[in-house]
Copies of this chain bind each other. A is one copy, B any other.
Amino acid sequence: MDRFQVTILGCGSAKPTTLHYPSSQIVNFRERLFMIDCGEGAQVQLMRYGFNVNHLTDIMISHMHGDHVLGLPGLVSTLDLTNRDPANTLRVHVPSSGVQIITEMLDFFTKYKSFEVKILPLLPGNNTIFESDNLKVVSFPLYHGVECYGFKFIEGPRPRKLLGDMLEFHHVPYYLRNSIKAGADFMKPDGTVIPNAHLTTEGSPSASYAYCSDTRFDPRVVSAVKGIDVIYHEATYLDDCRVKARERGHSTALDAATVAREAQAKKLVIGHYSKRYKDSQPLLDEAMSVFPDSVAANEGLTIDLRRL
């Protein structure tokens, strides 16, 4: 399946509520699953929304506050009780300041160690933490008063679209279709070369996604996510609490919308709501006043990054 989508597992903030789970989400790129943050209960949410945990290859922890990481030891110890392929290494990316405690926790609570868990430190600056032909995942700094990272998922060029009639006309054999999708010309048996542009049209546009939580408003975040299609940005407070937001290294819904507008995003998803808001509508209204294409995260919300 050629999916590229994000599913919210939790969008609450530090103080727990019965309305939301703490931060966690899944980016599904062609059935490879990346988890961003892993608050308490993330493992139950993964199960609730039907994800195949064997496809989970990378977990990225934005920062070492409990509501973003305390579901990790439970999730890893549960994976250890499943029939995960021993060769299916789990990569856990954590802020360098959290490597020691995470290593100790996972060592203690993972009983069988039936597969390898690689704990990889996130480091200051913009760093590529995953790269394949089709996808690049980059970490970048956020501004939350502690070592904290955002993540962006940038899809590579998409395959060109085949022109069926032209392939038939030139008798292009089936086994060459993938190379032609990738841009190759076709050489006929008589040596004539049919340029790729005669056989294909441009592929669909590539998609991209960025996660920005937790952070206060900072123009450097705008630069980091410039041109990204869909931005998830924390909106812990309404703008009437902007002083408190700044003090605590958080953003308001207005801040989140300003980042999306300045970065020229196509869509904004707000989340990480303070416990004080029983309803996300006022936060969404505030965001939409600045950036109309905003949606409010909720547990189970899935955004197809290819259909905006």
A81 touches B15 (CB 8 A): yes
Q: Which residues of B contact A66 (CB under 8 A)?
A: 73-74, 77-78, 109
Q: Is the CB of A169 closer than 8 A to any CB of chain B?
A: no
CA distance A14 to B70 in the complex (A): 16
A16 touches B74 (CB 8 A): yes
Known: A16-B44, A16-B78, A40-B70. 8 other contacts (CB 8 A): A15-B81, A17-B47, A18-B47, A40-B40, A66-B77, A67-B74, A70-B70, A70-B109
Assuming A70-B109, A109-B70, is B16 touching A43 (CB within 8 A)? yes
Interface readout for A15-33 with B: 1 if CB under 8 Å, 0 if not? 1111000000000000000
Q: Which residues of B contact A47 (CB under 8 A)?
A: 16-18
Q: Is the CB of A87 closer than 8 A to any CB of chain B?
A: no
Interface readout for A70-103 with B: 1 if CB under 8 Å, 0 if not? 1101100110010000000000000000000100
Q: Is the CB of A227 closer than 8 A to any CB of chain B?
A: no
Closest to A146 in B: B111
Task: Give the total of A residues in contact with B, Cβ under 8 Å.
Answer: 27
A40 touches B71 (CB 8 A): yes
Instruction: Report the minimum CB–CB distance from A276 to chain B (whole Å).
Output: 13
| Partner-B contacts on A (CB < 8 A) | 14-18, 40-41, 43-44, 47-48, 64-67, 70-71, 73-74, 77-78, 81, 101, 104-105, 108-109
Q: Which residues of B contact A74 (CB under 8 A)?
A: 16, 40, 66-67, 70
Q: Which residues of B contact A43 (CB under 8 A)?
A: 16, 40
B101 touches A105 (CB 8 A): yes
Instruction: Report the minimum CB–CB distance from A100 to chain B (whole Å).
Output: 9
Neighbour of A78 across the interface among B15, B73, B78, CB < 8 A: B15
